[in-house]
Amino acid sequence: MTSNRLPAIIILLAIVLVIAYSSVFVVNAREQAIVVRFGQIQSVKTEPGIYFKLPLAFMDADRVQIVEKQALRFDLDNIRVQVRGGSTFDVDAFVIYDIKDVRKFRETVSGDREAAEARLRTQLDSSLRRVYGLRDFDAALSDERVAMMLEVRDDLHGDAENLGINIQDVRIRRTDLTQQVAPQTYGRMRAERLAEAELLRAQGTEEGQRRRAIADRQVVEITAEAQRDAEIIRGQGDAERNRIFADSFGKDPSFFEFYRSMAAYSSALSSQDTTLVLSPNTEFFRYFDNSNGLMPPVPPQTPAPVAPSN
């Protein structure tokens, strides 16, 4: 009897396990889930965990659609855009987004990520052409690039919100000249840079001449002021020296004469090439024989003999 029931019990357990397995689904931290029953959204699970639904999903009942929760990216490459003036660029860009409103995402594009990106790609293409078309050639390659990316992001924001998508960032990865216009454009840029260099060189020469003229004038003025100050100081020094000499002469005339003679000896005999031919009795050497400076007495002159008269 028991052996006859065993297959039935095994089949029953298998059916229970299948039903239990099909009634449970898991949502991890990087996902969110939409439970659809007969084509209608039954519930949305945005938090990670274990959830239950009707088993077996027969007749389109309680189907679970998993949607990414983390940031996603799609690229748009080799878009040819034209700036004001006629030049064209090849542009690469990409968009970072996340699915913020899962219910709206399901209602608008049936939760199909490729369909949503196709709509955003079309909008991105149109926005890039508009933003570049408003600018000149140089502006498209300048620091305005950040402002351009922000404008494109704002353009995408409205359509993305209708899809339940949040645009986090838009980046322009590459802006290159097309092969057809690159040689002419580089030639024009080279001519402009050369002209700019010539202008800067001329301005530098003019500024150099101006500064040299200022420096020369300042040298003349400073030299004249220095000479004037030197003359004043030299005159003051001479006056002070004369005053000191005058005071010294008044206090001790003999010492003053001695000092003057020593200074004359030092000045006249300082050079080894100096040769003096003077009489030893000259007043210049009076301090050589006498420390008091007294001159030796002059011997009396002998009268010349008178020839006898005849």
Taking only the tens place, the pLDDT of each residue in 178-198 is 777 777 777 888 898 999 999
- DSSP state letter for 209: H
Minimal CA–CA distance to 28: which of 68, 60, 77?
68
Minimal CA–CA distance to 96: which of 123, 124, 74, 117?
74
The radius of gyration computed from the CA coordinates of the chain, to the nearest angstrom, equals 56
pLDDT of 250? 77
Asked if 33 contacts 45 with a C-beta cutoff of 8 angstroms, the reply is: yes
First to last CA, the chain: 212
pLDDT of 303? 59
CA 93 to chain centre: 27
pLDDT of 254? 78
pLDDT digits (tens, 9 = 90+) for 124-183: 999 999 999 998 887 877 888 889 999 999 999 989 999 999 999 999 988 888 777 777
What's the CATH class of domain 70-178?
alpha beta
In a 10 Å sphere around its CB, with 0-12 CB exposed, 13-18 middle and 19+ buried, how is residue 34 labelled? Answer: buried
Element (H, E) at 198: helix 182-251
* Full pLDDT tens readout for the chain, 310 residues: 556 778 888 888 888 888 777 788 899 989 999 998 888 888 898 898 898 888 766 666 788 899 999 999 999 998 899 888 888 889 999 999 999 999 999 999 988 999 999 999 999 999 999 999 998 887 877 888 889 999 999 999 989 999 999 999 999 988 888 777 777 777 888 898 999 999 999 999 999 999 999 999 999 999 999 999 999 999 999 999 888 878 877 787 777 777 778 888 788 777 777 777 777 677 777 777 676 666 666 666 665 555 555 4
pLDDT of 236? 95
Side chain identity at residue 233, one-letter code: I
With a threshold of 0.85, does the pTM exceed it?
no
pLDDT of 248? 74
pLDDT of 185? 76
Taking the C-alpha atoms of residue 224 and residue 220, their distance in angstroms, rounded to an integer, is 6
Taking the C-alpha atoms of residue 155 and residue 125, their distance in angstroms, rounded to an integer, is 11
Task: For CATH 3.30.479.30, list the domain ranges present in the chain.
Answer: 70-178
State the CB neighbour count (10 A cutoff) for residue 292. Answer: 8
Taking the C-alpha atoms of residue 260 and residue 283, their distance in angstroms, rounded to an integer, is 13
pLDDT of 88? 86
Side chain identity at residue 280, one-letter code: P
